[in-house]
Amino acid sequence: MVQDMVKLLPNSLLSCSQNRETERFGIGIGDEQAWVTNMASSSSSAQEKHDVFLSFRGKDTRFGFTRNLFHALCGKCIQAYMDDRELESGHEISPQLMKAIQESKICIIVLSKKFASSTWCLNELVHILECKGNENVIPIFYKIAPCIVRKQSKSYAEAFAEHEQRFKDKPEEVKQWRGALTKLANMCGYRSKKFGDEHELVNKIAKDILLKLPKYQLTNYGDLIGIEEPLKEIESLLSIGQMDVRIIGIWGMGGIGKTTLASFVFQRFSSSHFDDYCFLEDIPKEADNTNHLRNRLLFKLLEDKNLLCMDTPVVGSRCIQDRLRCKKVFIVLDNLNGRSSKLNDLLEGYQLGIGSRIIVTSRDKQLLVTKNCQIYQLKGLYDRDALQLFRFHAFGSNSLATGYEALLESVAHYAKGNPLALKVLGSSLKYKSVEEWKSALDKLKTDPDPEIKKVLRISYDGLGDKSMQGIFLDIACFFINQVLGKEVESILNHTNATIGISVLIDKSLIIESKERLEMHDLLRQMARAIVCDESKDCGNRSRLCSNKDSCNVLERNTGTSAIEGILLDLSQLRKDVKVTRTAFSKMFNLRLLKLQGFPPYKWSRYPNGGYNFRLSLLDGLEPFVSDDLKYFQWDTYPLKYLPYFNPENLVQLIMRRSQLELLWNEDQRQPLELVKLKKIDLSYSEHLMQIPNLSRAINLEVLNLQGCSSLVQLPSFFQNPGKLQFLHLQDCYNLKDGLENLPISVRKLYLRRTAIKSLPESIWKLKYLERLDLAGCRNLRKFPEISGRMEFLVEIVLSGTEIEEFPKSIDNLTRLETLHLGPLERFGGCNKIIKFLPNSLCKLLHLQGLYLTRCSSIEELPPLPRGLRELNIGKCERLKSLPELPSSLEYLWAKKCSLPHGLRQLDIGKCERLKSLPELPSSLEYLCAEECSSLEELPPLPHGLEKLNIGKCERLKSLPELPSSLISLSAEECSSIEELPPLPRGLIELDIKKCKRLKSLPELPSSLEYLWAEECSSLEELPPLPHGLIKLDIKKCKRLKSLPELPSSLEYLWAEECSSLEELPPLPHGLITLNIGKCKRLKSLPELPSSSITEASFRVFNKDQNGVIMNIKKLGIHPLNNGFEEPNVDGDSTSKRGFDECSSDQPNEYQHNHVSHPYNISKRIKLMGQYITVSFLNE
């Protein structure tokens, strides 16, 4: 199977190639294995309660950068410790903080400008370095250069001057502080000015920390036992760094830990090394429906259902192929078995991106045999690990209870290293006496069995009580991975069902995950084997849970009173099944009937690829004789009415996509005894015309009538079920009336796409209502007055309605959090009629989200509630003005439409008709008005603004005074600007590309590091360049004749196509990149600098515009020490190496692969382990 799938991948993608991964700031995955090993082999990690400890000066960054970093870490489920003190009081740090530092895996120190002024922070730093040394300490240089910290200059010098005066009698302590800062400044860390904005920096740090932390949770300590070696071997086979496509097969018996191992590997690598990833579990359930499985895989990788519409079973979509080929993906296909023969069609016609990895787990080695699949056999645990795992589950710790020593090895030997068997057996013997242990082991000895299922059977037999065993069998046969534990309890309705499920969880026979019940395959197979052992005749068994047995009994009418439950998966039928009229007439004890799923031929996207088989009832059904039916599910039920049966014990009735017209062929107005009924699901029963009298269904909680398109009205007696909470009526396209009959207990009411024209005022009697969804009700024009206070209603959805106005009584929705008038995801409706919202909207103090996107008729907004966090008024094209926005506002979408005082970021990019901006709040730190092509002027800029982006504002002629806080100014393609105002002293980045009318620049601040002036075609000269400049881009400045002195800090100089440039000043020694292509008047080069670069390209033209040959015969390069040679501390000039020589008449020993030019002559020179590429290009 895998061999067929691998044929879809090109050979080039299956070849091995080396790829060296780089790590930034010393944070990578290299140390993670050691972390995992230490976690699994020692208890030291158990003392580490926090992932990250944040050290910072509160006055500088508590409510800004540090808080944002804290929230970013928490958002990635990283346990961060942030001291909540407002002020650092005193001199010594508290014992609580010292303990928190010791209990943290990583310490992050936020070095701000006044960090050194706090003795508290300095003592905290000293303690961190004493605890951690150089390991797992990460500095962040926030708006301060590392050299200032290292040398204690500027603000740090001022702080230490005060410390030395204050602590004259403690010079050693001051010296210790200085040493700690110097040591910290020499560590790898983060510089805030290297990032575009704080958001980018914060996200980068959080992502790196996530990579550095171990991925495995100590709460599952048992799963870590014995996993180190398999992890190393699988990671070696994966070779994540190599750029090929690999398939790794993990082969082993059931319960041996294949899924656990694949999960650990997936957790470790998926999010950090791949573009997309997916873990496909439960493949056997879907393997026979390849189209569904294929769609599931593609959707997880692409997350776009629209693309799936273009997919076909045989010929893959070109669009999908293009997306996949560019994606480096990680896929896990878990638990392949013999039924998965059609998986060779899974990626038919598709290729995965280079570097992709696929892991396949299976019990069958033959499914993995292929030359392109490397198979790893996962064996049982070593005896030492097996004993450790067993002790963990049997005694609740790693310790050994006295008196059990002699029994442990026998138990571990019998389990043969199977982790699941060890876990289940250990749990079953927990809290048992030595005699009980011996009895259990003696039972194994008297009936030896090589199969592990014998071990699991002991746990089942140990349940003792028949009802407890019955609960286990019911769950294993009917309710795994599908329903909530509470639902199972109510369905089984045993007197001790709740206690029984708790016992099964404690004994590791079932698992409750996210309130759903799960069970390992071995245990489920064992349970079904127990049922099969009851009788050779399946009609005499208590439970039928295989399609083969269920179809046999229903077709041959061989059912007996022994049968308590039937499971039949209709989506897996392999033939037409004709159920006899009397099929259920002998099943006096039937409790559970579960005929679930939909035949693929009808619901599959590819009708020709499915099976055209169904369950048919040609002669109807005789009444059911069982009085104990609790669960009745029959999807696609083919008759107009249900068979007669006594429903007094019925808990759930599920008849999805049925042909029902009425539930019972009798007077629907007569009440039925449905006291125990809790759930009815008749969704998409398109012929259902009437609901029976549910007045006595006093415990009904869920009623799903979604898609019942023949339903016109809800009956008057519908209001009696006093516990109904969830009512689904969406897509009941003809439903018009009956909403006045709703029970007051309803919490969630879904009326999407119904035919209702108005809401009755009685709707507000539903005092517990939490969600009201009316999206797509296109006939709904009036929203009723809200007669009473709705204290639970938190969300109203009115997208796609025709409501003309809201009532003034909207303030009665006292707890409303979200109001939708704009389109929802996957739903294109919007309101084009409503013009105004009532002024009482401002009284909704809990409203957090107001969504008015594409409400194209709305002209003005009322005062907004003070707690509003999100406001979307995009494409409200008639909106003339905004009211004062609340300070709580965090997100504002206002494309094509007075700003809050607390607003920090404002992005109004691409508002092409916007001519002016309102007054900007003083809190604003970032303003983006990019591509506002009609903007003619800017208002005064707030004093705290740090970043300003006005790129492509073509009509903007001048800028206001720039605030001193500004560190980044982007004015790219502001083609009307002729001059710039004085630049602030702290400016770091200046982008004026394509400002074609700009003739000169003001004085450049000393803080400037990056200057982009490409295509400033009117620029005639540059002012003196600051000493800290790193990058200078003056490409296509065609009037520029000369350059000022270049600072020693300059690393990159782009001067390509400066056609008037006649000469270059001396080049700085640290220059890495020099591009002077097509500088046609440039007749000579200055002496090229000595450099520590490992590879550089100098492109020189050997003919000027007058035809004068530039006779460049020799190029000299003196390398400085860069790790290949020890520096000469004595200054001996003999330590310098001579330079290689190359000239244009030498043979072409190295051809530049990226330039195709008939006169290109390049040479690659190796010098002291370095390569320098020199290119001579004739013009």
Q: Which of these, 1045, 1028, 965, 956, lies nearest to 997 by C-alpha position?
A: 956
The rounded distance, in Å, linking the Cα atoms of 1117 and 1110 is 19
Residue 803 CA to chain centroid, in angstroms?
37
Q: How many CA atoms lie within 13 A of 597 on its CB side?
A: 20
- CB atoms inside a 10 Å sphere around CB 1176: 20
Report d(CA 427, CA 393) in Å as an integer. Answer: 5
Would you report the helix, strand and coil content of the chain in percent, each value rounded to 5? Answer: 30, 15, 55
1091 in helix, strand or coil? Answer: strand
C-alpha distance from residue 903 to each of 67, 853, 888 (Å):
16, 21, 8
Q: Which residues contact 996 (CB under 8 A, 6 or more apart)?
A: 975, 1015, 1016, 1017, 1018
Can you tell me which residue has the tokens 């005062």? 863
Phi and psi angles of residue 507, each rounded to the nearest 5 degrees, phi first: -90, 15
Per residue, what are the HEC states of 625-659? CCCCCCEEEECCCCCCCCCCCCCCCCCEEECCCCC
Contacts of 673 (CB under 8 A, 6+ apart): 647, 648, 696
CA proximity to 766, closest of 785, 798, 793, 797 = 793
- The packing angle between helices 383-395 and 419-428, to 10°, is 30
Q: Which helix (H) or strand (E) holds 467?
A: helix 466-478
Q: How far apart are the first and last CA of the chain?
A: 58
**Roughly what angle, to the nearest 10 degrees, separates helices 521-532 and 419-428?**
70
CA distance linking residue 441 with residue 811, whole number of Å: 71
Phi, psi of 64 (to 5 degrees): -125, -105
Q: Number of H helices and number of E strands within the chain?
A: 28, 41
510: exposed, middle or buried (C-beta count within 10 Å: 0-12, 13-18, 19+)? buried
Q: Using an 8 Å Cβ cutoff, are 335 and 282 in contact?
A: yes
Q: What angle do CA 192, 198, 200 make, to 5 degrees?
A: 100
Nearest Cα residue to 1080 out of 1054, 1050, 1041, 1023? 1041
Which residue from 398, 400, 379, 380 is spatially nearest to 389, judged by alpha carbons? 398
Beta bridge partners of 81: 53
The two beta strands, 592-596 and 565-569, are parallel
Q: Are 1078 and 1056 in contact (CB under 8 A)?
A: yes
> Can you read off the two tokens belonging to residue 835?
């013009």
Give the three-class secondary structure for 512: strand
C-alpha radius of gyration, the chain, whole number: 37
Catalytic residue among 86, 103, 124, 564: 124
**What is the secondary structure of 332-346 as a DSSP string?**
EEEEE-TT-GGGGGT
CA distance 1177 to 655: 78
> Helix, strand, or coil here: 534?
coil
Known active-site residue 1056: no
For the annotated catalytic residues, the residue numbers are 124
